[in-house]
Amino acid sequence: MGALVIRKLLYWMPFLFGIGFIAPLTAQTMAYWQIDAPLGLSRIGFGLLFGGLWGLYANIRGRWI
């Protein structure tokens, strides 16, 4: 059971990486350069959208670019 959960987590790792790492990194980079998020979103909201979609793309396509 534990092994199955770990395998599932690793399978979805690109998506998790998108929301777990890329999202806050994006938000903090925007804050560092004083860039506002578009469409009235907060920086972390934009980061989650950007990171989540990118991670999902990587999950589906099997590559980040």
Partner 1 sequence: MDRPLDDLTREEAEDYALPGDAGLIEGGVEGAAAERSAFEWRHAPQLDKHVRVNLRLQEREVAEKFMADPKHMRIYTVLTLGCFGLWLAMFPLTMMQIIPIWPCFLFATFIAAVGYIPSHEAMHRNIGRPGTKYHFWNELVGQVATLILIFPFSMARLMHMHHHYHCNDPVMDPDYTDGASGPIMAWVKTWLNRQPGADGSIHHYKRCLERIGTPEAQVALRDTMLLQLGSMGFLFALAWSGYAFVACFLFWLPRHLGLSYIRYWLSWAPHHPRDGLDRYTNTRVFRTWVGHWLSLGMQYHIVHHLYPGIPNHATKYAYYEMKPILEQRGVDCSPL
Contact residues toward partner 1 (CB under 8 A) are 3, 6-7, 9-10, 13-14, 16-17, 20-21, 23-25, 27-29, 32, 58-59, 61-64
CB 43 within 8 A of CB 22: no
Q: Which of 31, 53, 51, 33 is nearest to 43 (CA)?
A: 31
Residue bearing tokens 């395998």: 7
How far apart are CB 57 and partner 1 at their closest, in Å?
10
How far apart are CB 20 and partner 1 at their closest, in Å?
3
How far apart are CB 7 and partner 1 at their closest, in Å?
8
